[in-house]
């Protein structure tokens, strides 16, 4: 029996990375910048696995999407949300300091990915920290395809929970083809035209109306109810299911 | 080299929350227990009405037998209680399923496994490969209920594959067929870097593990 069919991706090995910067982003999310011992190239939407090892050998592992600008990287940024009673997120938020060594491997994931060469327009929808891989796509766009039409629907609990808020508002202010539709689920909207409810078909349709043509790809990332609501709305709006890629939080 | 170090690497300050000893033996390395049932899939959730669902058994390109919903439900039913392990690191213990063993599907079609490899196919174009030996001998079923309820669309209803001893991406949701293949053909995630076999006890998450 052969275990080597064609076209398999190469093995991705574990490496140690050093935490070189910690940046609070929202009340519940901090960015951790890692300096890689073995730099790699990655695409927007890809993730890394983090592995923590206790002195007795017990290990915990989690996946985190890469937020930083895609391409060849010697550092990567992960935005880690502090989950209630989260075994790994508690550790990052309470114990990790600059200079710590952490084991990780990547880049991983070959479906929820986008490169400028893939083209657009794009419809993006992110719920909470689900916006992270979409921010990597926007950073790819900014560097490689700056006028590509993209609409982002971003659902957050409150104004202060809008991850990368300043960066997103600044990008939207350029009016170069990027539209930002914010919806807050536990607070009234702040900007004219924003929403104050969970994502629904009307919000998805408003985002589609911002694009000059139907999206070539739709990327949706967040909790399962968020992803189902956004994906079902996109399908009702006439977008083929084959163009819709999703990523759901897996705990 | 960084890899040489990893055998005895300890993360500064990490103590972890190792599960109780009686449970620990049932949780593969790198996994943690959940009590909910996370939903993970690569695209929108298909909603397949029973009258539009069918299941086709193929050998290579050749269909051997096709069952509609009513005929499939008339096949012998089996209950399995199993621990399941997702590659995203959650594990769930003592999950209860009912469905049709792959053995009983093959018996109804009056065939023995003609090749050593199978591709499982789903209505949304998803596929995953499993060796024939891992699907037979009572090891795998096409599940129709979960915890005594019809399988919901989120969890792969009307029917999903259940191969509980492999990582759960092998248990294809929205299943509509099994296809014997002459050689081991990589499926959707296997083409995208996931391990060709996926044994959770050997931590076969990605190629090369």
Residue A9: per-residue pLDDT? 67
Helix (H, G, I), strand (E, B) or coil at B63: strand
Question: Within 13 Å and on the Cβ side, how many CA atoms surround A93?
Answer: 19
| Nearest by CB: B11 against A38, A102, A242 | A102
Q: Are residues A25 and A100 in the same domain?
A: yes
Backbone angles phi, psi at A139, to 5 degrees: -70, -35
* Cβ-defined contact of A102 to B192 (cutoff 8 Å): no
| Nearest by CB: B207 against A11, A52, A56 | A11
Is A52 domain-assigned? yes
Helix-strand-coil percent breakdown of chain A, rounded to 5? 25, 35, 35
Q: Are residues A176 and A88 in the same domain?
A: no
Q: Are residues A176 and A242 in the same domain?
A: yes
Domain boundary among A75, A108, A141: A108
Is A6 domain-assigned? no
Q: How far is A220 from chain B (nearest CA, A)?
A: 9
Asked whether A162 and A26 are in contact (CB, 8 A), the reply is yes
Q: How far is B69 from chain A (nearest CA, A)?
A: 24
Residue B17 with chain A: CB contacts under 8 Å: 60, 87
Is A10 domain-assigned? no
pLDDT in tens, chain A (251 residues): 344 444 556 789 999 999 999 999 999 999 999 999 999 999 999 999 999 999 999 999 999 999 999 999 999 999 999 998 899 999 999 999 999 999 999 999 999 999 999 999 999 999 999 999 999 999 999 999 999 999 999 999 999 999 999 999 999 999 999 999 999 999 999 999 999 999 999 999 999 999 999 999 999 999 999 999 999 999 999 999 999 999 998 65
DSSP string over B73-109: HTS--EEEEEEEE-TTSEEEEEEEEEEEEHHHHHHHH
Helix (H, G, I), strand (E, B) or coil at B115: coil
Q: Are residues A62 and A126 in the same domain?
A: no
Is A26 domain-assigned? yes
Q: Is A245 on the interface with B (CB under 8 A)?
A: yes
Domain boundary among A60, A89, A108: A108
Predicted-complex ipTM score:
0.90
Domain boundary among A51, A75, A108: A108
Residue B108: per-residue pLDDT? 98
Is A2 domain-assigned? no
Q: Are strands B90-101 and B32-33 parallel, antiparallel or unpaired?
A: parallel
Backbone angles phi, psi at B16, to 5 degrees: 80, 170
Q: CA gyration radius for chain A?
A: 18
Q: How far is B166 from chain A (nearest CA, A)?
A: 16
Question: Within 13 Å and on the Cβ side, how many CA atoms surround A230?
Answer: 31
Asked whether A231 and A242 are in contact (CB, 8 A), the reply is no
Q: Are residues A161 and A234 in the same domain?
A: yes
Residue B24: per-residue pLDDT? 86
Closest CA to A63 of A47, A43, A86, A40: A47
Question: Which residue numbers in chain B have pLDDT < 50?
Answer: 1-4
Q: Are residues A138 and A220 in the same domain?
A: yes
| Nearest by CB: B14 against A9, A14, A52 | A52
Is A3 domain-assigned? no
Q: Which domain holds residue A189?
A: 116-248
Q: Are residues A88 and A126 in the same domain?
A: no
In angstroms, what CA-CA distances link A182 with A171, A191, A211, B105, B173? 13, 8, 16, 50, 33
Q: Are residues A173 and A101 in the same domain?
A: no
Q: How far is A250 from chain B (nearest CA, A)?
A: 6
Q: Are residues A67 and A176 in the same domain?
A: no
Is A193 domain-assigned? yes
- Per-domain residue ranges for chain B? 52-202
| Nearest by CB: A251 against B9, B90, B209 | B90
**What kind of architecture, by CATH, is found in domain B52-202?**
Alpha-Beta Complex (3.90)
Is A9 domain-assigned? no
pLDDT tens digits, residue range B56-105? 999 999 999 999 999 999 999 999 999 999 999 999 999 999 999 999 99
| Nearest by CB: B206 against A53, A95, A108 | A108
Q: Is A246 on the interface with B (CB under 8 A)?
A: yes
Q: Are residues A140 and A209 in the same domain?
A: yes
Interface of A with B in 94-153 (CB under 8 A): 95-96, 100-103, 108-112
Residue A8: per-residue pLDDT? 58
Residue B143: per-residue pLDDT? 98
What CATH code is carried by the domain that includes residue A195? 3.40.50.80
Which one-letter DSSP state was computed for residue B205?
Answer: -
| Number of domains forming the structure of chain A | 2
Give the angle B209-A65-A54 at the CA atoms, nearest 5°.
55
Sign of CA dihedral B103, B108, B173, A245: positive
Q: Are residues A66 and A169 in the same domain?
A: no
Residue B36: per-residue pLDDT? 87
Closest CA to B104 of B62, B65, B81, B76: B76
How far is Cα A196 from Cα A157, in angstroms, rounded to an integer? 9
> In this structure, what token pair is assigned to residue B1?
């080299």
Residue B185 with chain A: CB contacts under 8 Å: 5
Q: Are residues A100 and A120 in the same domain?
A: no
| pTM, 2 dp | 0.93
């Amino acid at each position: 029996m052969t275990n080597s069919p064609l076209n398999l991706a190469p093995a991705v090995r574990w490496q140690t990375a050093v935490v070189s910067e910690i940046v609070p982003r929202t009340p519940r999310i901090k960015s951790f910048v890692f300096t890689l011992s073995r730099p790699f190239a990655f695409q927007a939407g890809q993730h890394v696995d983090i592995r923590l090892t206790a002195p007795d050998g017990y290990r915990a592992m989690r996946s985190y999407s890469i937020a930083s600008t895609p391409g060849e990287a010697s550092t990567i940024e992960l935005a880690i949300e502090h989950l209630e009673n989260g075994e790994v997120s508690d550790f990052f938020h309470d114990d990790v300091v600059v200079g710590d060594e952490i084991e990780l491997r990547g880049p991983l994931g070959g479906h929820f990915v986008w490169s400028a060469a893939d083209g657009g327009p794009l419809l993006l929808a992110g719920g909470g920290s689900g916006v992270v891989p979409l921010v990597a796509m926007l950073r790819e766009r900014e560097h490689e395809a700056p006028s590509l039409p993209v609409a982002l629907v971003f659902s957050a609990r409150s104004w202060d929970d809008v991850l990368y808020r300043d960066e997103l508002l600044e990008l939207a202010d350029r009016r170069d083809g990027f539209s930002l539709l914010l919806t807050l689920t536990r607070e009234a909207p702040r900007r004219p035209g924003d929403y104050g409810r969970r994502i629904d078909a009307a919000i998805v349709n408003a985002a589609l109306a911002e694009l000059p043509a139907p999206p070539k790809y739709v990327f949706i990332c967040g909790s399962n109810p968020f992803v189902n609501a956004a994906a079902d709305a996109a399908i009702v709006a006439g977008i083929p299911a084959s163009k819709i890629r999703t990523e759901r939080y897996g705990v | 080299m960084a890899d040489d170090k990893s055998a005895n690497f300890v993360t500064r300050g990490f103590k972890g929350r190792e599960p109780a000893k009686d449970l620990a033996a049932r949780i593969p390395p790198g996994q943690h227990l959940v009590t909910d049932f996370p939903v993970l899939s690569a695209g929108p959730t298909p909603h397949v009405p029973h009258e539009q669902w069918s299941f086709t058994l193929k050998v290579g390109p050749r269909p051997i037998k096709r069952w509609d919903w009513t005929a499939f439900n008339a096949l012998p039913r089996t209950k399995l209680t199993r621990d399941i392990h997702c590659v995203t690191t959650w594990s769930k213990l003592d999950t209860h399923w009912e469905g049709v063993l792959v053995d009983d599907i093959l018996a109804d079609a009056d065939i023995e496994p003609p090749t050593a490899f199978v591709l499982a196919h789903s209505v949304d174009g998803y596929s995953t490969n499993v060796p024939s030996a891992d699907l037979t001998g009572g090891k795998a079923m096409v599940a129709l209920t979960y915890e005594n309820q019809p399988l919901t669309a989120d969890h792969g209803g009307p029917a999903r594959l259940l191969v509980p001893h492999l990582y759960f991406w092998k248990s294809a949701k929205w299943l509509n067929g099994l296809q014997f293949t002459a050689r081991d053909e990589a499926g959707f995630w296997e083409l995208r870097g996931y391990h060709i076999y996926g044994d959770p006890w050997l931590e076969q998450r990605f190629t090369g593990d």
